[in-house]
Each structure stands twice: as C-alpha cells, then as structure tokens.
C-alpha cells in the first residue's frame, strides 16, 4: 500500500513540475478546459460593453480573455483575439525616440488595423462558418485599402537659411638678389586685402503641438461589414496592451473610440496592466485623444481584486483547488495516469501533507496564479516522491521570491531601499503584514513595488466617518518578504496592527481602529534627503 502511495506521489509531483506557467503556451482547447471562474468575473466580462480588464503579470488576464473569445465563438459570434506583442513587422520602431511621434503612432495604428483585417479575412475563409465571401470579401478589401489613409499629424516646422559672403585681399612682396660682384635689391608693393565673412540667417516656424488622427473610411467600412454579417457580433479582444509605448497608447485608444466603439455590433475588450497604461491624452479646450475611462469604456474589472487570500480565504482556496486540479487532469489524461485523483479535494489530500499546508500555499501565491504554479513546481521538485509539506512550501516560496521578485526590484536601488524600509516599519516594528496608504499619495516607487508583485492591493477606499474626505488603500507585503521570520519570535502576528496594540486578519471598512497601521511615506523621503 505504501509503495502505491509513493508511486502516486512521485507521478503527481512530476505532473506538477510539468505545468505550463504561461497561458500562451497552451492550445486554446486546453485553456478552455482549465479555466476556472472566480466570483462574478466571467459574468461581468461577458457583457457587450466595451471594457478594460486590469491585472498584473501572471494574474490570468490572457487565460480569461482567450476563454471569453472561445466561448463567444461557440455561441456563433466572431472573436478577433490579438496579442499586441506580435503587432508590426519592424521590431523596435514604436519605441525608437529618433523617429517622430506622429510617424510611430501612424505605423502602430496601421499595423493594428492590418492585424484585425487579417484575422477577419481568416475567419471569412473558414469553411465551417456560413459567411458569404462574395459579399464580405470586397468589404474586407476596402478595409485593407483604407488602412493606408490613416495618419497622425504632428507639429509643423519650416526653416529658411541665407548666407552672405564678402571677399577682399591685400599683400606686399620684396626681392633681394646677391652675387659675388654685386647686390641688387628690388621691392614691389601691391594692394591685396583678404577678408572673408559669412552670415547665416535661419528663420524657423514651429506650429503649435497639434496632434490629430485621421481615420478616413475605417469606421464606415466596419459598419457595412457588420450589416453584411447580420446579427453576428464581433468581439475585438486586445491583449497585452501595456507592451505599447505609453506615449502611443492614447492614439491606439482613439482609433478604437472613433472607429469601433460607435458600432453597436462590435464589442472591444482590452487586457492591460493598470500602472503601465495611459488611455487618454488631454488637449487644449477640454478635448482629448483616446478613451475616457468610465465614459467610453468601463474599467471596473481587476484580476487583483478576486484572488488575494486575505480578502476571502475560503474563496481563494476553492479557486486554487479547482485551478490546480483542472491543469493536473489535462496533463494526467495525456499521460494516461491510471488511478489519478478524481476530484480537487482528493488531489489535495494526496499531494499535500495537510489541508493547512495547501492553504499556506494559497497564501504564498498572493493571488497570482503564475506565481502559484512556479511555487508548486519548486515544492514538487523538493518533495520528489513525498507529499508536499509546509517546509517545502515555505522554502519554495522563498526561492521563487529571491529568483524572480527580489531580482526585479533590485534593478532599481531606490525601490529596493523603500521595500526594506517598509519591511522594517511594518513587519519588524508593528509585527503586521499590511499597511494603509492614503489614496492621494502618488509615489512612483510604490507603483514599482506593486508592479513587481512584492506589494499587493487588498482593499480600496477605506474611510472613517469622522474624516469622510480621507481615503486609504490597504497594501499587503509579499509572503516571500517575511517567510524567513515565520519560525522566529519576529513572526507577524496578524494582517494589521490596531490602535490598542492588537492585530486583525480581515481588512475593515473603517480605519478608525487601525490608524497606527497608516504608513507615512514622507518619513522615507525625509530620510532620503
């Protein structure tokens, strides 16, 4: 019996090691099979409203967007999924600061529309779909031709140059001839003056910084395409938005707002990283280029809000049980693993020494599925033919933190110094895992730490009735920052420190009892001066 269990653990751990950590490495069928909905995520994402899905790297944006595309296809709609990392054939041109902004923006818009056109053409040529190519084909040809009409006009600059030159010369000469019998002296004088001068007059006229985007016929052609498709909805899904240089993002957003948003049969979904996104550029007179969040497109979905352990431990545990099981089953079926666990709970009992070990694993993941897969893979490598223990989870979490997160933060010495300062203030002195930060505080280094996944946003907009104008966000420090302290007397005692010296584990809605948990970032800045 023990040999059977050992054999099963060995096989299970090997399958855990084989989990792919990136959604794009899976085929679309596997992505659909392994998707796990959490809360109202899919219900909100499936609405026909134009929408932005936020989430840091590894939170599952790509998985959710691909699942959305495939489910809409199954309903008979058309889904155009684009990974913006693959847009364009001239790598680096969008980020080349030596190229005018107008030219880079124009190329980006043309490349994006060309990619949408190519996807639509491939869909139209699919024999399994009942699309009348005789009608749709010419419209798509018009769309291809209209792409070249897209321009972004930047500053107008003129230059005129004149050169004035005058020349005159002056000189004298003398000649002496000496022989054994005589000496002759001859002198000559000639007037020759040389004067050279030049003057360059440059007149430069530079127009006001006026950026206008001209889309020509694109919107009207897409409208005709939708009419030709009758009641079929087109879902345009743009993933990896944040790879676009931030100064170009408003121009692509403007293309969507002017050409796609007005068409009732087109729905646009965008996957983006919040701190790396810029959807709007303000112009004089109150006008703007891009998308007005909340007006033109909703931005009410954030993957970070769904899966953090401290927000709802039971929901997070159930999610990760289902996620791990679905990925395990997908590989086990291909490996023909007989006797494999048949339910999420059964897999957890087989693979982990105790239920609380799995919950610790969920806490260590900090709401990032990709980090969860890496930690699980490392723990499986440590355990080999044994069940995964608490020690394996904690050591693997530390290894992953040092290998991935700390290395990324260390590239910015000031960000690393701030992280150490926060750890000292919150963990060492307050024996807590989280802190409050006033929402009006905008700090680039905090954003960097959040983006690097060493700070996690637990709750937004905490307020107090006695100070209604003040709002706070609750940030949690990453598990890897304090895992070494869990076996020591300096181990955190709770999530937040209360004013009476105690600790709580659930973020409250009113911060009056936890004012000692507020972090004053000005102290760090003053220490830096």
Per-residue pLDDT tens over the stretch 449-473: 999 999 998 888 888 777 777 889 9
Q: What does each C-alpha distance from 294 to 24, 54, 279, 298 come to in angstroms?
A: 29, 14, 11, 5
Same domain? 424 vs 503 = yes
Same domain? 371 vs 297 = no
Burial of 100-116, coded b for 16+ CB within 10 Å and e otherwise, reads: ebbebbbbbbbbbbbbb
Q: What domain range is 163 assigned to? A: 157-206
Average pLDDT over residues 319-344: 85
Average pLDDT over residues 61-85: 93
Measured CA to CA, the distance from residue 30 to residue 25 in angstroms comes to 10
Among residues 258, 10, 19, 260, the alpha carbon closest in space to that of 120 is found at 260
Domains identified in the chain, total number: 4
Q: What pLDDT shows up at residue 195? A: 46
User: Mapping DSSP to helix (H, G, I), strand (E, B) and coil, where does residue 136 land?
Assistant: helix
Average pLDDT over residues 213-230: 87
pLDDT grade for 164, boundaries at 50, 70 and 90: very low
151 or 400: whose pLDDT is higher?
Answer: 400
Q: What does each C-alpha distance from 124 to 137, 139, 279 come to in angstroms?
A: 8, 11, 31
Q: Is residue 280 predicted with pLDDT exceeding 50?
A: yes
Summarised one tens digit per residue, pLDDT across range 32-47 is 888 888 878 899 999 9
Summarised one tens digit per residue, pLDDT across range 383-426 is 988 999 999 999 999 999 999 999 989 999 999 999 999 999 99
Average pLDDT over residues 192-212: 50
Q: Is residue 292 part of a domain?
A: yes
Q: What pLDDT shows up at residue 287? A: 86
CATH of the domain at 69: 3.40.50
Same domain? 39 vs 146 = yes
pLDDT grade for 2, boundaries at 50, 70 and 90: very low
Q: What pLDDT shows up at residue 149? A: 81
Work out the percent of the chain whose per-residue pLDDT is above 70: 83
Task: Retrieve residue 302's tokens.
Answer: 């954030």
pLDDT grade for 3, boundaries at 50, 70 and 90: very low
Q: What pLDDT shows up at residue 238? A: 96
Same domain? 32 vs 168 = no
Q: Is residue 508 part of a domain?
A: yes
Q: Is residue 91 predicted with pLDDT exceeding 60?
A: no
198 or 37: whose pLDDT is higher?
Answer: 37
**The last residue of a domain, from among 305, 326, 354:** 305
- Look at 190-199, 259-268, 378-387, 447-456 and tell me which has the smallest mean pLDDT: 190-199
Return contacts of 317-323, CB within 8 angstroms, 24+ apart. Answer: 317/358, 317/359, 317/362, 319/36, 319/38, 320/358, 320/361, 320/362, 320/365, 320/369, 320/372, 321/345, 321/347, 321/348, 321/358, 322/36, 323/34, 323/36, 323/369, 323/372
Task: Retrieve residue 139's tokens.
Answer: 């419209």
Q: What pLDDT shows up at residue 155? A: 57
Same domain? 428 vs 356 = no
pLDDT grade for 271, boundaries at 50, 70 and 90: very high
Same domain? 422 vs 314 = no
- Look at 281-285, 322-326, 446-450 and tell me which has the smallest mean pLDDT: 281-285
Q: Is residue 119 part of a domain?
A: yes
Highest mean pLDDT out of 32-41, 189-198, 215-224? 215-224
Q: Is residue 314 part of a domain?
A: yes
Same domain? 74 vs 222 = yes
Q: What pLDDT shows up at residue 130? A: 79
Average pLDDT over residues 177-189: 53
Same domain? 118 vs 262 = yes
Q: How confident is the prediction for the chain on average, in pLDDT? A: 83
| Residue 394 · residue 483 · CB < 8 Å | yes
Q: Is residue 515 part of a domain?
A: yes
Give the residue carrying structure tokens 């009735």: 465
Q: What does each C-alpha distance from 96 to 84, 88, 487 come to in angstroms?
A: 17, 14, 50
Task: Retrieve residue 474's tokens.
Answer: 């609750």
Q: What pLDDT shows up at residue 89? A: 53
pLDDT grade for 213, boundaries at 50, 70 and 90: low
Same domain? 263 vs 125 = yes
Q: Is residue 474 predicted with pLDDT exceeding 50?
A: yes
Q: Is residue 114 predicted with pLDDT exceeding 70?
A: yes
Same domain? 132 vs 235 = yes
**The last residue of a domain, from among 371, 387, 408:** 408
Q: Is residue 156 predicted with pLDDT exceeding 70?
A: no
The model carries a pTM of 0.81
Question: How many Cβ atoms are within 10 Å of 274's Cβ, its own excluded?
Answer: 17
Q: Is residue 480 predicted with pLDDT exceeding 90?
A: yes
Q: What does each C-alpha distance from 134 to 115, 141, 270 come to in angstroms?
A: 21, 11, 31
Q: What does each C-alpha distance from 116 to 81, 82, 415, 462 come to in angstroms?
A: 9, 8, 39, 42
């Amino acid at each position: 019996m023990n040999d059977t269990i050992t054999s099963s653990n060995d096989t299970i751990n090997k399958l855990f090691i084989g989990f792919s950590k990136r959604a794009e490495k899976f085929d679309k069928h596997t992505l659909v099979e392994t998707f796990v909905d959490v809360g109202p995520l899919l219900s909100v994402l499936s609405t026909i409203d134009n929408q932005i899905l936020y989430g840091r790297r590894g939170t599952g944006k790509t998985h959710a967007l691909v699942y959305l595309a495939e489910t809409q296809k199954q309903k008979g709609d058309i889904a155009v999924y684009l990974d913006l990392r693959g847009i364009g054939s001239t790598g680096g041109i969008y980020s080349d600061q030596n190229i005018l902004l107008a030219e880079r923006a124009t190329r980006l818009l043309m490349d994006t529309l060309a990619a949408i056109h190519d996807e639509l053409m491939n869909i139209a040529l699919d024999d399994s779909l009942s699309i009348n190519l005789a009608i749709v084909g010419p419209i798509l040809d018009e769309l291809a031709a209209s792409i070249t009409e897209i321009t972004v006009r930047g500053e107008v600059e003129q230059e005129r140059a004149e050169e004035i030159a005058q020349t005159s010369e002056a000189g004298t000469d003398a000649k002496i001839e000496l022989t054994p019998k005589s000496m002759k002296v001859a002198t000559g004088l000639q007037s020759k003056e040389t004067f050279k001068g030049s003057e360059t007059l440059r007149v430069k006229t530079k127009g006001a910084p006026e950026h206008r985007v001209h889309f020509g016929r694109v919107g009207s052609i897409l409208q005709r395409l939708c009419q030709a498709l009758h009641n079929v909805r087109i879902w345009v899904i743009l993933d990896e938005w944040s790879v676009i240089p931030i100064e170009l993002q408003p121009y692509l957003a403007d293309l969507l707002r002017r050409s796609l948003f007005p068409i009732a049969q087109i729905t646009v979904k965008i996957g983006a990283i919040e701190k790396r996104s810029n959807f709007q550029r303000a112009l004089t007179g109150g006008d703007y280029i891009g998308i007005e969040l909340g007006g033109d497109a909703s931005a009410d979905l954030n993957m970070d809000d769904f899966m953090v352990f401290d927000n709802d431990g039971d929901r997070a545990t159930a999610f990760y049980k289902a996620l791990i099981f679905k990925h395990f089953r997908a590989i086990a079926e291909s490996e023909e693993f007989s006797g494999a666990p048949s339910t999420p709970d059964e897999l957890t009992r087989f693979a982990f020494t105790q239920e609380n070990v799995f919950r610790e694993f969920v806490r260590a993941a900090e709401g990032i599925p990709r980090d969860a897969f890496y930690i699980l893979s490392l723990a499986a490598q440590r355990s080999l033919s044994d069940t995964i223990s608490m020690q394996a989870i904690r050591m693997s979490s530390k290894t992953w933190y040092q290998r991935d997160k700390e290395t990324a933060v260390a590239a910015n010495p000031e960000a690393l110094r701030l992280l150490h300062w926060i750890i000292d203030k919150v963990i060492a002195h307050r024996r807590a895992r989280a802190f409050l930060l006033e929402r009006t505080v905008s700090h680039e280094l905090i954003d960097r730490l959040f983006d690097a996944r060493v700070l996690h946003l637990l709750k937004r907009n905490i307020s107090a009735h006695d100070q209604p104008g003040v709002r706070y966000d609750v940030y949690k420090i990453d598990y890897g920052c304090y895992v070494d302290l869990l076996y020591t007397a300096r181990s955190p005692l709770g999530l937040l420190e209360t004013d009476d010296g105690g600790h709580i584990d659930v973020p409250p809605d009113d911060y009056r009892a936890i004012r000692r948990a507020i972090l004053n970032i000005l102290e760090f800045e003053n220490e830096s001066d």
